[in-house]
Structure 1
Amino acid sequence: MADATRDPEGGRGRQETAEERADRRWSDLLQELRVAQTGVQILFGFLLTVVFQARFPQLSAADRNIYVVTVILGAATTGALIGPVSMHRLLTGKRLKPETVVWASRLTVLGLVLLLCTMASSLLLILRIAVHDTFAVWVVIGMVLWFALCWFALPIWARRARPSRR
């Protein structure tokens, strides 16, 4: 039987129960969500105003389609990153904190993937208007690779490169 004071990997990490660990992880997740939600809300708010700009009717059909996809991605991102708050509120007091943290964490990762797609789509729309289409595509590809490196590849590498505690 596993000792409640040992970390899940079997090492001698923090001396905390499963409930204490869930509380700490929830607090950490909330701090992360605050950062991500602020950026998403600003980006999504900006996207919602674009359609009301005088030049919007002059956009090509392709640019309008990119805009629609971008707004939908922004809405989906907002939903995924606000979802953990709703989940917590609806499950508070039901003795499901560890499960809530796991699902909220998954929603947050989904939100980050959707944010990556929203950023790529936004950049594509803006850069297609500002510079040559071919250049815009290459810049967006470069930025997607940069975001993927910073947001996903480095954390995965760090997790795998960490020496075992066993």
Structure 2
Amino acid sequence: MTSPPVGRRPRPPQQITRNFNELLQELRVMQTGVQILTGFLLTVPFTERFTELTETQQRIYLGILVAAVLTTLVIVAPVCYHRLLFRRGEREWIVAAAQRCALAGLVGLATVSAAVVLLVFDVVLGRVAALTAAAAVALAFTLMWAVVPWRGRAR
């Protein structure tokens, strides 16, 4: 088993297991949303209207698709880590890596969500409305997922 960082006491195995199980539950919630969004995005180029998108809109779409797939990658990565390392006494490393993946997955989900709003508003209402709506969505994610917890933690 790897030793804990300098200045930190090792955590009991039960706490590590509980932390890992909680992280897996959180990742399942994110994974469902990302998988539905990615599945929807995969169908878009096969619709008749896709050819009406401007080159810029098609590039935005491709960027969103890649971001959604990469978000799926980081959300599912802890399952792979666990599968490969759980019998090697690396549970504490797995939990730390899963924590980083969960945070990266949240950033990816927020980014993909704002980008989808950008693309849809650009197609429907134009670029100014798209930028405004995407900025509003990004701000909402930032407030709810970062500011609120940090303010609550400060109490």
Under a length normalisation based on structure 2, what TM-score does the superposition of the two structures give?
Answer: 0.90
Shift of 1:52: 0.5
Are 1:74 and 2:68 an aligned pair? Answer: yes
Is 1:30 equivalent to 2:24 in the alignment? Answer: yes
Q: Does 1:84 align with 2:108?
A: no
Task: Name the larger-Rg structure.
Answer: 1
Unaligned runs of 5+ in 2: 1-7
Q: Does 1:116 align with 2:110?
A: yes
Deviation of the 1:156 alpha carbon: 2.5
Q: Secondary structure at the match of 2:78?
A: helix
* Equivalent position to 1:57, from 41, 51, 58: 51
- In structure 2, C-alpha distance between the alignment counterparts of 1:85 and 1:27, rounded to whole Å: 11
Residue in structure 2 matched with residue 107 of structure 1 by the alignment? 101
CA distance in 1, matches of 2:151, 2:12: 26
Equivalent runs, 1:15-26 vs 2, <5 Å: 18-26=12-20
Q: Tell me how far 1:152 sits from its aligned partner.
A: 1.9
CA drift at 1:70 = 0.4
% same residue: 37
Q: How does 1:144-155 map to 2 (within 5 A)?
A: 144-155=138-149
CA distance in 2, matches of 1:36, 1:91: 23
Shift in Å at residue 114 of structure 1? 1.2
Which whole-Å deviations, capped at 9, do the CAs of 1:109-134 have from their partners, x for residues lacking one? 01111111111111111111111321
Pick the structure with more helix per residue. 2
Match of 1:39 in 2: 33
Moved over 3 A (4+): none
Residue by residue over 1:63-106, the C-alpha shift from the partner in whole angstroms, topping out at 9 and shown as x without a partner, is: 00100100010010000100111111111111111111011110
Separation in 1, partners of 2:21, 2:146: 21
Give distance in 2, aligned partners of 1:54 and 1:132. 20
RMSD: 1.4
Match of 2:151 among 157, 163, 166: 157
Q: Contact 1:18–1:98 (CA<8 Å) still a contact in 2?
A: no
> Aligned equivalents of 1:69 and 1:98: distance in 2?
34
What is the letter of the counterpart of residue 37 of structure 1?
Q
- Cα drift, residue 27 of structure 1: 0.9
Structure 2 distance, partners of 1:57, 1:149, is 36
